Amino acid sequence: MKPTDFSRLLSEYLAVYLPGRRNMSENTVLSYCDAFRLFLLYCKDEKGMRIERIMLADIDRTLIESFIDWLEQDRKCSVSTQNQRLAAIRSFFSYAQAETPEHLYSFQRILSIPPKKGLASVMCHIDVAGTRRILSQPDISTPTGRRDAVLLCVMYDTGARVQEIADLTVGSVRLSRPASMRLFGKGRKGRHVPLMENTVSLLRQYMAEQGLKPESAGYSPLFCNRQGKKLTRAGIAYILGKYCSQARASAIALPDRISPHTFRHSKAMHMLQAGIDLIYIKDMLGHSDISTTQIYAQADIEMKRSALEGIADTPVPTNLPSWKKNEDLIAWLSNLGKAKPCLK
């Protein structure tokens, strides 16, 4: 069967344009693939369309909007997930309009679909005492416990994204002064993050025990599972969740849901509360725009506001005079600044 214009463009977009010309990361490409997998599933099961016969002319704004509604109503996707799927679709049609200008009007109508507005989520983070308790949970008398202890310390010390931790190699680590770790974030942008002395000491012991030497194993994963393969994002989340459960069992108050990204938020909040400038926090977290980092400052202000509101009512005198009834004061204010007659 001859490929349709839609299948041809979609294949080129996902296999060539995103990873090649846009230099998108593997995770981003997989996310876009997942969005179109769901879209094709919707077209097949809900609209009765044959996937192999779908043409660009068959896809319009109405179909895309109904797909987004299906994500919300049938699959119970959150607003952020719906917007992520819409962003993938809009990106494809932005690419397609230059390749097939005969569909320009239809594509521009799709591109004009606005993202949905949702309630702003409350940024979850752990206080210093809770963080310290979680970091102390691994049993360092076992090899697995020692690996987990180093993993958690590196996660917190660097404030890295979970994928950045999963992608760490032995060659990413510099233990000599000044100690640092090279991370690759969104868009494969690299940055160097300084390491604290305690983390350097743990890493040095861990790498020596595992026989990990930069000169001989530079491209080997820094953190491996029992099969000797690098830890996945799900594996890292599982390890963190296990120790969070142990910390809760010791009567430590922790948020209900803690993810690796919660550790990232916690590091940023602790740095801010320690008086570190937002510019340095931005560089450490790998944010491309300072406005992204400012959410921590806003969250800190809200915490301070909540703390003040929790203080008992401040006693104030109740017999203050009402200035509104003070006619002399009102007259004085009315004449304030007006030219005075000259005295001869």
- Give the residue numbers annotated as catalytic, written as ranges: 161, 186, 261, 264, 287, 296
Half-sphere exposure of 263 (CA within 13 A, CB side): 27
- Measured from the Cβ of residue 237, the count of other Cβ atoms closer than 10 Å reads 16
DSSP for residue 130? H
Cα angle, residue 125 at apex, residues 278 and 287 outer, rounded to 5°? 35
Residue 61 and residue 276: Cα distance in Å, rounded?
Answer: 47
CA 260 and chain centroid, separation: 10
AA identity, residue 162: V
Question: For the stretch 99-108, what's the b/e string if a residue is b when 16 or more beta carbons lie within 10 angstroms of its beta carbon?
Answer: ebeebeebbe
CB 1 within 8 A of CB 52: yes
> What burial letters (b/e) apply to 262-278, b meaning 16+ CB within 10 Å?
bbbbbbbbbbbeeeeeb
Among 110, 120, 36, CA closest to 79 = 120
- In the chain, the amino acid numbered 111 is L
Region of residue 322 (left: phi > 0; alpha: psi -120 to 50; beta: else): beta
